Amino acid sequence: MSKVLVTGGCGYIGSHMIVDLLQKGYDLISVDNYSNSFEKTYAAIEKICGRTVEYEALDLCDKAATLAFFKNHPEITSVIHFAAHKSVPESVLDPLAYYENNIQSMTNVLSAVSFSNIKQFVFSSSCSVYGNPTSLPVIEESPIKPASPYAFSKHVGEQMIMDYVKQYQNCQFHLLRYFNPAGNHASALIGELPRKVYLNLVPVITRTAIGKLAPMKVFGDDFNTRDGSCIRDYVHVMDITKAHLLSLQYMIEGKEQKGYDVFNLGTGNGITTLEAIHSFEKVSGKKLAFNIAERRAGDVECIYANNDKAKKVFGWEPMYSLDDIMKSAWDWELKQVESE
């Protein structure tokens, strides 16, 4: 029986991915080292789906343990690889930790793929590999100019896959470059719940509004944008997971003719930080307290996607609006208060 491996399955996107896979009838196993997540997330997934989640604790930076895991699970035929450190500001402060974790874990997983039964591999990449783009919207062929250690680690991961395909040719890869995943599952049973400090804009907004954080900082009001704040392409996490399902199925059905391909996952709409705040205020009915602060190192001024390729190749179509993102994020935050 074939099985899908989800790495980083207790993380933000990984947990939503497991829900989608289970609800579509896939057999899967998940691994996580819980460095920035919680094992209890699996119980929440099981509550949503009414199915048991098979999982193991595993640090993918441990090569011996990683190789042993793959040898013990020859039934795995597909991998969706989320496990990685993912913060731009944190990577600027501690670049070596990002290189060690993201690149070493990728090396170990690919080493395991080289001798395993894996035929399809979906890699969680990032639009940050484009850096500050010279033209917008960004297409998959836009120049690669990573502006942070996090972005560079994703670029290295992509290059490793490209080099792997040239040598081994036993597996097909899709490299999915996310723009800014946000929002949470409609049940409010799973959501963005890191162990470390909250750094992504949407959960910072909701935690500020609920009173768990002091007035939030808008980093920069002097960018060359509509209102001076930086522009990002916010895409609902469930739209992201749907793209993974379509990508995986495309390869399973034998439609992919190349060893690897690259796809942007974004809505195609650039939203400023202040516009995102206003969307939250409209949806929640709450006025948000925030201050303007200096720009952060590694921050990109403006980026949003051209997503034509994902639409054309495997029929992906983002369904959720910015207001939908904010509502699901606020529902999740309110649910956390209820459970405390």
Question: What is the greatest pairwise CA distance in the chain?
Answer: 56
Residues 6+ apart with CB under 8 A from 328: 183, 184, 185, 186, 188, 236, 320
* Spatial separation of the C-alpha atoms in residues 280 and 300, rounded to whole Å: 22
In degrees, to the nearest 5, what angle opens at C-alpha 294 toward C-alphas 292 and 295? 115
Q: What are phi and psi of 103, to 5 degrees?
A: -85, -40
* Spatial separation of the C-alpha atoms in residues 57 and 23, rounded to whole Å: 23
* Spatial separation of the C-alpha atoms in residues 98 and 247, rounded to whole Å: 27
Q: Examine the residue annotation and report whether 150 is marked as an active-site residue of this protein.
A: yes
* Spatial separation of the C-alpha atoms in residues 323 and 100, rounded to whole Å: 37
Residue 333 · residue 206 · CB < 8 Å: yes
SS (H, E, C) 190-219: CCCCCCCCCCCHHHHHHHHHHCCCCCEEEE
Residue of 12, 98, 150, 320 marked active site: 150
| Residues taking part in catalysis | 150
